[in-house]
Amino acid sequence: MNYQLRRSAMLILLALSVVARGLSDSAAAQTNAPSRRVAGLSGFGCDRNDQVALVFRHRLLELGWIEGTNILLDCVSTLSAEQLPSLAAELIGRRPDVLVASPIAYIRALKQATATIPIVMVSTTDPVENGLVTNFSRPEANVTGIASSTPELISKRIELLKEMLPRLMRFAVIHAGAPGGTYSRVVRENVALAAARFGFAWREFTVAEPNDVDGIFAQLGAEGFDAVYMPPTPLIYTRQTQIAAMALKYRVAPVSDLPSFATSGFLLTYGPDLSGIWIRGAEYVDKILRGANPGDLPVEQPSKFSLVINLKTAQALGVTVPPSLLSRVSELIE
């Protein structure tokens, strides 16, 4: 975590303690109120000190939900798709008032397990095409929340990369798991369009197990690939620092969506404001706990996007960041 994120986390922790003290008297008056339970199914871990976890809890606190007094927060996480049905059933057995999940497979596991408990999806790619909701304006059923990505963002990342690597000739896409499903198809279609537009060759690779990444990067280096795009799926997310190091070792420029990947050493990331998405996720939870029907709450799409560039990685790869990008960057990692 860079200095700015560490400072933000410290400020949030301070705010939590100050607000909690300020609300202690009113909390005492609510001790007879039944606690509400919010349960999460995550592919990205359950670290309570993770930046988005801090932001999520802080926003709930601002909305009057005091952990341990009138709300209980629960979370389980796995990288194994085979475990999702049993974990979803386990969470539902704990009788939560609201479920929170990310990414797509985890939301789908909860939706298949319950048609009654409200589900707030957070940072979700194209929930309509993936069959999670019927439409954005009125999702119906028990699922709502925040989408996180559109097909245009994939092309935009490559466009930004092309400005940094004007001689881009060979581009790789690494999928975690079998490269099937809606999102993999969307990635494939948009990379193909970008390849035709910018004149580079590209190829897909698949990571089935964490150790597969090492061999794939060795192959990318041996075959002279210039850059690689890795969607932030759970397996990739949990190894982002090691992946960034391998990319440097084999001199392949790594690109992804989330700012944390740039902090970990990826050359460039472009995507929605993740903290803002989780703040809105907390607000969806609040509305549902106060009686809103999830099927009546429109699914939101992000409107704020950030470009983050790691200058250390650029220097290590011998890449010059053009002024045209420096003028648009949201954050520089130095």
Cα of 127 vs its chain's centroid, Å = 14
Which pLDDT belongs to residue 273? 86
More confident residue, 325 or 304: 325
Mean pLDDT of 109-133: 91
> Tens digits of per-residue pLDDT, 131-153?
899 999 999 889 999 987 666 78
Which pLDDT belongs to residue 81? 87
Q: What angle do CA 101, 106, 107 make, to 5 degrees?
A: 60
Q: Scanning the structure block, which residue is given the tokens 């386990």?
A: 90
What domains can be seen in the chain, in order of their start residue? Answer: 3-149+272-305 (3.40.50.2300), 151-271+306-333 (3.40.50.2300)
Residue 11 has pLDDT above 70, yes or no: no
Q: What angle do CA 332, 149, 124 make, to 5 degrees?
A: 115
> Mean pLDDT for the chain?
87
- Measured between alpha carbons, how far is 126 from 124 in angstroms, rounded to an integer? 6
Residue 20 has pLDDT above 70, yes or no: no
Which pLDDT belongs to residue 128? 86
Q: Which amino acid does the sequence have at 65? A: W
Strand-pair partners of 219? none
pLDDT-derived band at 126 (thresholds 50, 70, 90) equals: confident
> Tens digits of per-residue pLDDT, 231-246?
888 888 889 999 999 9
Residue 25 has pLDDT above 60, yes or no: no
> Tens digits of per-residue pLDDT, 152-161?
788 999 999 9
Distances (CA, A) of 316 to 70, 108, 310, 334: 50, 41, 10, 12
Q: Which amino acid does the sequence have at 77? A: S
Which pLDDT belongs to residue 8? 44
Residue 227 has pLDDT above 90, yes or no: yes
pLDDT-derived band at 312 (thresholds 50, 70, 90) equals: very high
- Measured between alpha carbons, how far is 226 from 233 in angstroms, rounded to an integer? 22
Residue 9 has pLDDT above 80, yes or no: no
At residue 309, φ and ψ (nearest 5 deg) are: -125, 135
Which pLDDT belongs to residue 49? 85
Here the tokens at position 233 are 């799926």
Residue 83 has pLDDT above 80, yes or no: yes
Are 38 and 71 contacting, i.e. CB atoms less than 8 angstroms apart? yes
List, edge to edge, every strand of the sheet that includes 227-229: 201-207, 170-176, 227-229, 253-256, 268-272, 305-310, 331-333
Residue 309 has pLDDT above 50, yes or no: yes
Cα atoms in the 13 Å half-sphere on the side-chain side of 61: 21
Mean pLDDT of 307-318: 96
- Measured between alpha carbons, how far is 254 from 171 in angstroms, rounded to an integer? 10
Annotate the chain with three-state secondary structure: CCHHHHHHHHHHHHHHHHHHHHCHHHHHCCCCCCCEEEEEEECCCCCCCCHHHHHHHHHHHHCCCCECCCEEEEEEECCCHHHHHHHHHHHHHCCCCEEEEECHHHHHHHHHHCCCCCEEEEEEECCCCCCCCCCCCCCCCCEEEEEEECHHHHHHHHHHHHHHCCCCCEEEEEEECCCCHHHHHHHHHHHHHHHHHHCCEEEEEEECCCCHHHHHHHHHHHCCCCEEECCCCHHHHCCHHHHHHHHHHCCCEEEECCHHHHHHCCCEEEEECHHHHHHHHHHHHHHHHCCCCHHHCCCECCCCEEEEEEHHHHHHHCCCCCHHHHCCCCEEEC
Which pLDDT belongs to residue 181? 64
> Tens digits of per-residue pLDDT, 60-80?
999 999 999 999 999 999 988
Cα of 9 vs its chain's centroid, Å = 18
Which pLDDT belongs to residue 77? 94
Mean pLDDT of 195-211: 91
Which pLDDT belongs to residue 30? 43
Here the tokens at position 216 are 């794939």
Residue 98 has pLDDT above 60, yes or no: yes
Are 119 and 294 contacting, i.e. CB atoms less than 8 angstroms apart? yes
